Amino acid sequence: MGGMKVVSFALLVVLLLCVDVEVARGNSLCCNTHPEFGKCDTKDEEGKCNQWCLKGCSNGKGGWCKPLPRGKQCHCYC
C-alpha cells in the first residue's frame, strides 16, 4: 500500500512539471514557431516576424521565417 502512494505522488509531480513547462513555453515567444503569426513568405513579412519576436521575447534576438513542410512560419530565436 505504501508503494502505491509513492508511485502516485511521483506521477503527480511529473504531471505538474509537464504542465509548468507548457505554461512557460506558452508565455514566451522565444525558441518557438508561431503559426498564429500568419503568412511568412516575403522579405517584408520576415521583417515583421523579426520585429514581432523582438517585442515579445526578452532575449533581443528577433526571429525569421522558418521553412517547414506546411510553408514558412515565424520562428523566434532562443
How many domains does the structure of the chain reveal? Answer: 1
Which grid coordinates are listed for 16?
A: 505538474
Q: Is the per-residue pLDDT at 12 higher than 50?
A: no
What's the pLDDT score for residue 39? 87
Q: How far apart are CA 52 and CA 46, in angstroms?
A: 10
Pairing of strands 73-76, 63-66: antiparallel
* DSSP assignment letter at 4: H
The pLDDT score that the predictor gives to residue 70 is 87
> Measured between alpha carbons, how far is residue 10 from residues 1, 3, 14, 24 in Å?
15, 11, 6, 21
Domain that holds residue 6: 2-76
Residue 11 has pLDDT above 90, yes or no: no
Chain-centre distance of CA 2, in angstroms? Answer: 39
Is 26's pLDDT higher than 60? no
